[in-house]
Structure 1
Amino acid sequence: MTEVKSRLVFPGMARPRIRPSAIDETRDHALRQAPERVWARNYRIRLRLTDVATIIFAVGLAFSLRFGIEAIPASTRIDDGQYVLLSATIVASWLIALIAFGVHDSRVIGVGASEYKRIVNASATAFGLLAIALVILKVDIARGYFMLALPLGTVSLLGVHWLWRRWLVAQRTLDHYLCRALVVGELDDVGYVIRQIQQKSGAAYNVVGAVVSNTDAHTVTTGQKPVPVLGMTNVAQVARNVGADTVIIAGQPKGGANFIRSLGWQLEGTATDLVLASQLTDVAGPRIHFRPVEGLPLIHVEIPQFEGGKHVLKRAFDVVSTAAGIIALSPLFLLIAILIKLDDGGPVFFTQERVGRGQRTFRMVKFRSMVTTAEADLARLTEQNEGNGVLFKLKNDPRVTKVGRLLRKYSLDELPQLWNVFLGDMSLVGPRPPLPREVEAYEDHVRRRLYIKPGLTGMWQVNGRSDLSWDESVRLDLYYVENWSLTGDLMIVWRTVKVLLKPVGAY
C-alpha cells in the first residue's frame, strides 16, 4: 500500500489555518484515539528494551564462549578495559543500526518478513562498518569473539521479535492492539480492502466503518464481520466521530486526486494517517518502488525475472539444504521403509511422471502410501472426486494403506522428493508439481506456474492444501512465481514445519 501522512502539505498549496473549533475537535479526536496510540508507544518501548537486553546477552555470551573455553593467545591479548569498551561499542552500534533501519517503525512491527529482513540488514551493516573501522584503526582483537557475536545476536533478535509478533497476533485476534481504520471509496473497492484486512490475522487494522459513494446499504458484508456504512459526506468529520487512527482510500474515489488532497488538508493537525490502498493486487512490496517526478508519485513495478543471481542462490540453498536433510533424516527413511514393507510387502517407493519447469517432465519419487494397484483403480473412483478443479482428491480414498494414511497426514510420504530437489528437477520451495493430465487442462495464465521449478513445499502447502479451491491454489502459486525471494522461502519452510505438526488439508 502507498502511504501518505496527513500531516504533510501538498506542494504549491497554502497551509490552512486551524480554527478554535477545529482545535477542540482535534483534542476530542485525540482522546478517542489515545488507547490505540498508547499501546503502540508502549509496545515499541517494550520491543526496544527487549532488543537492548538481547544484544547485551548475545555479546556477553560470545565473549564467554570465546574466552571461557581457551585462553587468549599472547599475540592477540589486549587490555581487558579495551574489550569492555569494544563490547559497549558493538552494543551501541547495533542498537543505532536497528533504529536507523526502522526496525521499531510502527508500520513494520508485527508485519513479519519486512521486520525480520530489516533486523538482518541492520545487523550485517553494523558489523560490516565495525569491521572496517577496526581494520582502519588497526585494533587487534580475537576474531572469534567478533564473529560469534553477529550470528548469536541476529538469531536471538529474530527469535525475540518472532515471539513478540506471536503475542501481538494473538492479541489482534481478540481485537486488541489494532489501529482503528475508516475505509473510503466505491463499494467493490471498499469490500475488497475490508475482506483482505479481516482475512489476515497479522493485519494491524480494525475497520470500524466505511464511507461508500455508490450504495444505499447500511453495512458492507464482504468480510468476516459486517462494517457499518457511514455515508459519503465530510470524511474527516466521520473519522473524528469514530476515533479513526487511519483513513484508507480504496481504489480511485469519487473526486480523484482533488478529493485525496482536500482530505489530507482536513486531517492536518490530527494524529490520523492517510493511506492509499494500491490497486496492484498480488504484487509483493520488494517489486514496488517510488519514483517521484516534480510532485507526481510514480510507482515502478519490477517485471518478474526467471533467471539470474537470485536463482543461482536459490539453487545453492536447495543443494546445501537437501544434502543436509537427506543425511540427517536417513534413519527416519529406513524406519518408514521397514514399516511399508511390513504393511503389505510391496515396493517402498512410488514414482510418477510430473511436469517441471518449462514443461519438462521428470520422475518424482515418494514413499508409497497406496496399494500397488492404485493407478489402475483410479478410473472407477473418478466420479467420487472431491478435489478442486483439475485435481483428484478423496478424503477417504480406499486405495490408501494403513501406514500410508499416517504418512500422508504428516506429509512424510513427500520426504524422498529431497532427492528430486538435490538432482535439480524440483526446488525446496515452489508451486505444487502437477501431473501431465493436469497441465493439459490448464488455462493459458495458469501455465505461468511452470516458469520456475516445482517445490517440495510452497504457498499451497502452508495455506490449507487440499482444502483450498482451485482458483485460490492457482492464485497462491502465481503469486509465489512472480514474487518469490530467498527470505520468503525461509519463511515458508518455517511455516511448513508448523503445518506438519498441526496438519490442515492433508489427506
Structure 2
Amino acid sequence: MPNHNQWLFRQQLSVVSLTKILLDPFVAVLVLIGCAVYFDEPFKGPYPILALVVFTLTFPGKWPEVTLRAFWNESVMPWFFLSGLILLFGYSTGYLDFFPPNLVMAWMLATPIAMYVAHRITRKLLPRLLLLEGGRRRAIIVGAGSLGTELRGRFVDDSSLGVDVIGFFDDRTIDRTDLTDPKNLLGKLPDIPEYVNSNGIDLVYITLPMAAQPRTLGLLDALRDTTTSVYFVPDIFVSDLIQARVDHIHGMPVVALTETPTLGVSGIGKRLSDLVIASLILLMIWPLLLILALGVKLSSPGPIIFKQRRYGLDGHEILIYKLRSMRPHVEGEVIQQAGREDPRITRFGRFIRRTSLDELPQFINVLQGRMSVV
C-alpha cells in the first residue's frame, strides 16, 4: 500500500515532492561516497557505476510516516532487499571484487541510519520549503466522525504535510459527532461550496461512510465549478485496517487485511532480505555470542544451545535455537514450564533472559529459513 502522503497527494511535482522522492537516492549515493573517502578509495571506475545503479533503483524515494515501524517497513526493509540483490549480482559476476568487503558492509549498514537522520532533518526543514510553493494549504474535512478526526490528527502530527485543517462540515448536530469544540463544526454539507469560494479553501477531504454515496456524489457535483482539490478517504482505512494493502483484480480494488508474506515475488524479496540482515548481524555479534556461550558453559554443565520445538508456516514443526538459561533436565524429572522465579534458572541465565540475549542464536534459524526477521 502506498504511504499516506502519496495516497493523499497525487499532485504535480513541486519543491516539496521533489525533495521527498530524491532524498533516499541522494543519501544512498552520498553514504557510498563517504565510505569511499573513509576507506581511502578513489571514487572512480566502478564506484560511479554503482552509484548510478543505486540512485536509479532507489528512485523515487519513500516518504514513510514518522514512526520507526513505518520507516523500517517502507525504507529499511526495501534497502536490505536491494542490498541482497546487489550482493547476489556482485558475487555471481565478480563485480564485488572491485570493492573492499569492509566498505560494502559499512555502506549497506550506514545507509538506512543516514536515511533516518536525513528524514528527521528534512521534516524540520519542509515548512521552509513550503514557503517556496506559496505557503501552507487550507483544508476542510467533510464528516466529523472518527475517520475525519483521525485524518485531522495526522495533519496536526505531521506539519511537513503543509495542510491546515480549518474545520469540519457535517449534517449532524455537534453532540452526534466526534467533535468536542462547537467552533470546529463550520456548517452542513449544503454550505460547503459557498464556504470554499469565500474562504480560499485549497483542499476538501470527504470522510463520509460509503453508505452515504448519494451525498458524496451531490457534493462532488456542487464543487465541480470550484478550483479546490477534492479527495475521498474511504472508511475502510480507519482504525486497525490502516495497515491494509490495496490490490486490484481487473480494475476492482481489493483490500488485503492479512496475507502470507512468503509467497510470490514478495516472498523471494523477504527471503533475500532475511539472508542479508541475518548474515550482517551474525558477522557483527559473533564475538558477543562467544562470550555468552562461555558464560552459559561456566554457569552450569550442559549444552550451550537449547533447542525448542515450535510451529511455523503451515503448521510445520520447527526447532528454534536459544542460549540455555536453565540447568539441564534430570532424567525422570517432571518437565514444567519455567516461571519467572524458577530455581532452575541460573544467575547468568536470568541475565540473558531479562535482556533477551538468549534469543540471539535465532538469527541462525533465520539463515536456515525457519524464521523471519520480521
Shared fold (TM-score greater than 0.5)? yes
> 1:108, CA displacement in angstroms?
7.5
Correspondence 1:213 to 2:171:
yes
Report if the CA contact (8 A) 1:365-1:420 is conserved: yes
SS where residue 220 of structure 2 aligns? helix
2:311 aligned residue (335, 349, 355): 355
Shift of 1:357: 0.8
Query: Which one-letter code corresponds to 1:360 in the other structure?
Result: H
Corresponding residue for residue 415 of structure 1: 360
TM-score when normalising by structure 2: 0.57
**Does the C-alpha gap of structure 1 residues 404 and 258 become closer, same or farther in structure 2, counting only changes over 3 Å?**
same
- Please name the residue that 1:376 is paired with: 336
Which residue in 2 is equivalent to 1:336?
292
What residue in structure 1 maps to residue 145 of structure 2? 187
Say whether the 8 Å CA contact 1:341–1:347 is kept in structure 2. yes
1:398 equivalent in structure 2: 341
Which amino acid counterpart does residue 204 of structure 2 have in structure 1? V
Task: Say if 1:92 and 1:418 are closer, same or farther in 2 by CA, change over 3 A.
Answer: closer
Alignment check: 8 A CA contact 1:248 1:276 kept: yes
Counterpart selection for 1:299 from 247, 253, 257: 253
Whether the aligned pair in 2 keeps the contact of 1:343 and 1:403 (CA below 8 Å) is: yes
Structure 2 gaps, min length 5 = 83-96
Task: Give distance in 1, aligned partners of 2:179 and 2:225.
Answer: 29
Q: Does 1:258 align with 2:212?
A: no
Q: Alpha carbon RMSD of aligned pairs, Å?
A: 5.9
Please say if residues 81 and 273 of structure 2, whose CA atoms lie closer than 8 Å, have aligned partners that are also in contact. no
Partner of 1:288: 247
TM-score (norm 1): 0.45
1:428 aligns to what SS in structure 2? coil
Equivalent in the alignment of 1:163: 117
State the 1:235 CA deviation: 2.9
Aligned CA distance change for structure 1 residues 371 and 62 (closer, same or farther; 3 Å): closer
Distance change (3 Å), C-alpha of 1:424 and 1:330: same
Q: Structure 1 residues 92, 240: closer, same or farther in 2, change over 3 A?
A: farther
Q: What letter matches 2:230 in structure 1?
A: L
Structure 1 residues 410 and 417, CA, compared in 2 at 3 Å: closer, same or farther? same
2:206 corresponds, among 224, 244, 249, to 249
Measure how far apart 1:330 and its partner are.
Answer: 2.8
CA contact (8 A) 2:326 2:349 kept: yes
Contact 2:64/2:74 (<8 A) preserved:
yes
Structure 1: how far apart are the matches of 2:155 and 2:250? 31
How far has the Cα of 1:421 moved from its partner? Answer: 2.2
Tell me, which stretches of 5 or more residues in structure 1 are unaligned? 8-39, 73-86, 123-142, 293-297, 382-396, 430-507
- Shift of the 338–411 alpha-carbon distance from structure 1 to 2, 3 Å rule, reads same
CA-CA distance at 1:215 after TM superposition: 4.3
Residue 310 of structure 1 aligns to a residue whose secondary structure is: helix
Contact 1:369 1:404 in 2 (8 A): yes
Alpha-carbon distance in structure 1 between the residues aligned to 2:25 and 2:272: 32
Q: Check the 8 A contact 1:109/1:115 in 2, yes or no.
A: no
**Which whole-Å CA distance do the structure 1 matches of 2:160 and 2:335 have between them?**
44
**Alignment: residue pair count:** 325
Aligned to 2:321: 365
Structure 1 residues 43 and 3, CA gap change in structure 2 (3 angstroms): closer
**Cα distance in 1, alignment partners of residues 149 and 177 from structure 2:** 10
